[in-house]
Amino acid sequence: MSAGPARVACIVPAKDEQDRIAATVTAARGLPGVETVLVCDDGSSDATAQHAAAAGAVVVSHERNRGKAAAVESAVNGLGVLEQRDRRPEADVLLLLDADLGETASRCAPLVEAVVCGRAALAIAVLPPQRTAEGQQAGGMGLVTGTARRGIEELTGWSPRAPLSGQRCLTRRAFELASPLAPGWGMEVGMSVDVLRAGLVVEEIDVDLTHRATGSDLASQLHRASQLKDVTRALAARGLVRNQLRDLSADGVSGLLKRFGRGSR
């Protein structure tokens, strides 16, 4: 990281977030060190872009929906263009926040602090249990989370508490090491694996954040299916399946049983 105070840019991917984006942007702008908030409007069909801009964000837009990872990449590219055009010093820290955090985004200072002080290259927020809009306990059967957690552990030896959490702060260098990001919902899993494999420190931090939690209706289950597909792809692209096949051919049936036992934890 460069000498002097750290420069933090906040990156917010947003699809149809007009109800919450302004509060999220306002809260993010108030975080220590945050100089710029960039929102990528990922093909929204509502007024997300206008609300984000009115709250003080720099907005880049996708004409059509391209998924979360592409939105994050576009916002970071936009940051690079701004820095060159305006000859401004480069941000050395990126804070990635989802658009639906609202004013709770103001609680993310501990993530920034962990990276700015050099304790971690990637700091990830662990959220408390969430409730759905109907007041029910959020979350599914744990299939996506469990797949992501076990995959990261198999590939790196580290077992995260919140493998899917998109609320994360990292050095620009760590972001570059994880780029291009794994597509769609695989970006967090891919990033964690890539940063750990580069030998950098990853830390999870409890942060009292609230977001729009996924429920149990059909749309929510379809969302989970899409997450599972992208997470599985990100893990496979980093060698998970290859490793499993290698171990199976080395250990035969006992390897299969060992792996099955581990998978059912």
Ligand X SMILES: O=C(O)[C@H](O)COP(=O)(O)O
Residues at the interface with ligand UPG (CB under 6 A): 13-15, 17, 42, 65, 67-68, 71, 98-100, 164, 166, 185, 188, 211-212, 214, 223, 227
- Which two three-digit tokens encode residue 221? 């289950």
Asked if 225 is part of the footprint of ligand X (rule: CB under 6 A), the reply reads no
Asked if 74 is part of the footprint of ligand X (rule: CB under 6 A), the reply reads no
Asked if 68 is part of the footprint of ligand X (rule: CB under 6 A), the reply reads no
Q: How many residues bind ligand X (CB under 6 A)?
A: 11
Q: Which is nearer to ligand X, 129 or 199 (CB)?
A: 129
Count Cβ atoms within 10 A of the Cβ of residue 16 and give its class: 0-12 exposed, 13-18 middle, 19 or more buried: middle
Residue length of the chain:
265
Asked if 129 is part of the footprint of ligand X (rule: CB under 6 A), the reply reads no
CB of 35 within 8 A of CB of 91? yes
Cβ count within 10 A of residue 58: 17
Q: How far apart are CA 112 and CA 208, in angstroms?
A: 15
99 binds, among ligand X, ligand UPG, none (CB under 5 to 8 A by kind): ligand UPG
Q: How far is the CB of 207 from ligand X (least distance, A)?
A: 16
139 binds, among ligand X, ligand UPG, none (CB under 5 to 8 A by kind): ligand X
Q: How far apart are CA 145 and CA 53, in angstroms?
A: 33
